[in-house]
Amino acid sequence: MTRSASSLIRSLKKALHAVADPAKAPPMQAYMKSSMPYLGVQAPQLRQAVRAVFAACPLGDFEEWRDAVLELWREAHYREERYAAIELAGHTRYSPFRSLRALPIYEEMIVSGAWWDFVDAIATRQLGELLRKHPVEISAILRDWAVSTDIWKRRSAILAQLNFKSETDLKLLYDCIRPSLGASDFFLRKGIGWALRQYARTDPAEVIRFVRRNQARLSPLTKREALKHLALGRQT
């Protein structure tokens, strides 16, 4: 690892410890049901602290950025250090590095993170950004992930377009949802409902049609989530 990357990681850890409130750490860990401990840094303070470090410790090329993200992620002792790795992965300065070369970074973080706070942030931000930049290649990969044995890759495929609104590729969304329609896993059921509910803000009639067409395969949880803000949701 380069000196710049090592300096950034040291500075990040020091900055996080400086704004930590140890009294908040146990309830944060309990809420997240995390085996990894917390320092006790809440989201606004974390973002402020890490952005100051990013400004003071710039990284020069893709390899430096990749190595810093993965080292911070892999060697994390506290959950906030992994949150910082996600922030570094998505920082504006490094947008040019977030090409198809970055996909293995995100895949590792999704599979090893294996919990909704990590996975959802990466899927909806970094994976969604890659889909916008490389729609053909990433669409094919998301369709593969949608049938993976790893539930977090499946959930990521379902949520990747969460912020796309009218630009949503509906066929891709449904291709990613359908393999998990009958799944018993809570996070897949919830993820499908969330993705549909979000798209309902753009086209509520289409979401209602989809739910009606797939009534028998959708779990009650998924239907409630999908129709949460729609009239049909109050009737089912």
pLDDT tens-digit map of 48-98: 999 999 999 999 999 999 999 999 999 999 999 999 999 999 999 999 999
Query: With bands split at pLDDT 50, 70 and 90, how would you rate the model's confidence at 236?
Result: very low
Are residues 64 and 112 both part of a single domain? no
Angstrom distance (rounded) from CA 33 to CA 156: 20
> Is residue 34 over pLDDT 90?
yes
Are residues 37 and 113 both part of a single domain? no
Are residues 4 and 87 both part of a single domain? yes
| pLDDT at 231 (0 to 100) | 61
Are residues 82 and 108 both part of a single domain? no
Range of the domain at 112: 103-236
> Is residue 235 over pLDDT 60?
no
Are residues 63 and 163 both part of a single domain? no
Half-sphere exposure of 49 (CA within 13 A, CB side): 23
Look up residue 6 and give its two tokens.
């090592």
Are residues 137 and 204 both part of a single domain? yes
What percent of the chain shows pLDDT beyond 90? 95
CB 128 within 8 A of CB 164: yes
- Among 97, 120, 135, the domain boundary falls at 97
CB 181 within 8 A of CB 195: no
Are residues 43 and 79 both part of a single domain? yes
